[in-house]
Structure 1
Amino acid sequence: MNQEIKIALVEDDENLRFLVAERLQTEGYRVLEASNGDDAEKMIMDENPDIVLLDWMLPGKQGSEVCENIRKNGFDKLVIMMTAKAQDVDKIEAYNFGVSDYITKPYNMDVLVAMIDNKIKFSLNSDKPETYRFANMEHHPNTHLLIKDGKKIELTILENRILLYFLKNRNKVINREELMMEVWGYNADVNTRTLDMHIVRLRKKIEDNPDSPQYLQTVRGVGYKFSHD
């Protein structure tokens, strides 16, 4: 299935780029490469890849600028930011450059491949970028937008991950550990309070009355359930 799938790999570290490209090709993906922001923008707009793996620190242009520019030019597929520093993750969270998701370096190749496989599986099921509808809302995970009553609401990357997981598991009780694993991954040093805080913020964006939530319900002593037909 991976034969037709094009991944644009934008990374200025030649050795790392070689290793990642080789591994992705072994997995059957077609890899396009660029080592700086200007080449990357041109390549992405010309080739329209399925996924962009974009390094945060690039010569010339930052990855964030590249992402912003391709989004402005109408690129709406997945963009995964690769970042070496934890504090950059905060920046990716705080400002919306249009990044779909991120992975921190040094990353384990298996984790990177699993992340891509997982995303491809979901985005290939439809011709247009995946969209989830519930009630009067539409969720566009690639660009982490929520459209509610025709109004656009920005989600942070973590809110986006949480909502996406709920929408894929509607009406199922999900315990906090499972959700934390899904959202922050294996090596995450987060506690349940952090998760609950994100849930509270997400409720403010999707619920008409966040204090008595209609969709994102708490299941006492266990976790949460996204309730919707």
Structure 2
Amino acid sequence: MSKEIKIALVEDDENLRFLVAERLQSEGYKVLEANNGDDAEKIILNEQPDIVLLDWMLPGKQGSDVCTAIREKGFDKLVIMMTAKAQDVDKIEAYNFGVSDYITKPFNMDVLVAMIDNKIKFQLNSDKAEAYRFANMEHHPNTHLLLKDGKKVELTILENRILLYFLKNRNKVINREELMMEVWGYNADVNTRTLDMHIVRLRKKIEDNPDSPQYLQTVRGIGYKFVYE
């Protein structure tokens, strides 16, 4: 890698922190470590890492509080939340504190590394924090913000992921399996009904008339297509 990429790893489980740090260092990343929220906040604001890997459950200050605090102080890089229970993720209203993405514990190290590599590649290709504009809307996936006519629209982590995938693949037909794999990951036990429910909720937020969607269109028998020139 041409420039040194810094990752802040915030995890109070010492064994897990050691394993993750060791693996990331072997991949050529510079790792900054913290085991509680207060230290994490100081390190992140002083060092401005490219990615923050943040445990959801921390002693003292929770992961969500750390994320809120650094976002309020202008940190706009990626924050990946490490959560223990997959089912809670959808309830986490990520927009309240600006999580970019999440990974569920226990995770496979290869999956974590692939996820980080992928995000870093993406970030290096777009120097500033990425934003997507379409119609009267603007999506800032890193900080989890959707603006519609300049007003903030609240997205969950999964809605944020779905919308981002569609925006990266405009005007392409995307089948449901591909979308589920992308949004929930490899081992997800998720069915198409769950996906369709998220699509319905997302349509309510972006479409003027959700019942006859202009952007997020259904392709019968296959999946969906995000239509926007």
Category of TM-score, reference length = shorter chain: over 0.9
1:95 shift after superposition: 6.7
1:152 shift after superposition: 1.3
State the TM-score, normalized to the length of structure 2.
0.95
| Matched residue, 1:65 | 65
Residues 91 and 221 of structure 1: CA distance in aligned 2, closer, same or farther (over 3 Å): closer
| Matched residue, 1:184 | 184
How well do the aligned residues superpose, as a CA RMSD in angstroms?
1.4
Contact 1:2 1:28 in 2 (8 A): no
- Does 2:34 align with 1:34? yes
1:91 shift after superposition: 4.2
1:126 shift after superposition: 2.1
What is the SS of the residue equivalent to 2:138?
strand
| Matched residue, 2:101 | 101
CA distance in 2, matches of 1:47, 1:28: 18
CA distance in 2, matches of 1:217, 1:147: 21
- Does 2:26 align with 1:47? no
> Partner amino acid for 1:200?
V
CA distance in 1, matches of 2:64, 2:198: 24
Structure 2 stretches lacking a partner, 5+ long: none
1:3 shift after superposition: 4.0
| Matched residue, 2:7 | 7
- Does 2:151 align with 1:151? yes
1:2 shift after superposition: 6.2
Contact 1:3 1:28 in 2 (8 A): no
Residues 87 and 221 of structure 1: CA distance in aligned 2, closer, same or farther (over 3 Å): closer
CA distance in 2, matches of 1:78, 1:167: 18
- Alpha-carbon displacement from aligned partner over 1:198-219 (angstroms, at most 9, x marks no partner): 1111111111111111110000
> Partner amino acid for 1:114?
A
CA distance in 2, matches of 1:187, 1:169: 23
Structure 1 moving runs of 4+ over 4 Å: none
1:122 shift after superposition: 1.5
Structure 1 stretches lacking a partner, 5+ long: none
Contact 1:3 1:29 in 2 (8 A): no
| Matched residue, 2:116 | 116
Farther-moved stretch of structure 1 (123-132 vs 198-207): 123-132
> Partner amino acid for 2:8?
A
- Alpha-carbon displacement from aligned partner over 1:99-128 (angstroms, at most 9, x marks no partner): 111111111000101111111111222222
Aligned residues: 229
| Matched residue, 2:196 | 196
Farther-moved stretch of structure 1 (219-228 vs 97-106): 97-106
Identity %: 90
Contact 2:95 2:155 in 1 (8 A): no
1:63 shift after superposition: 0.9
CA distance in 1, matches of 2:104, 2:76: 22
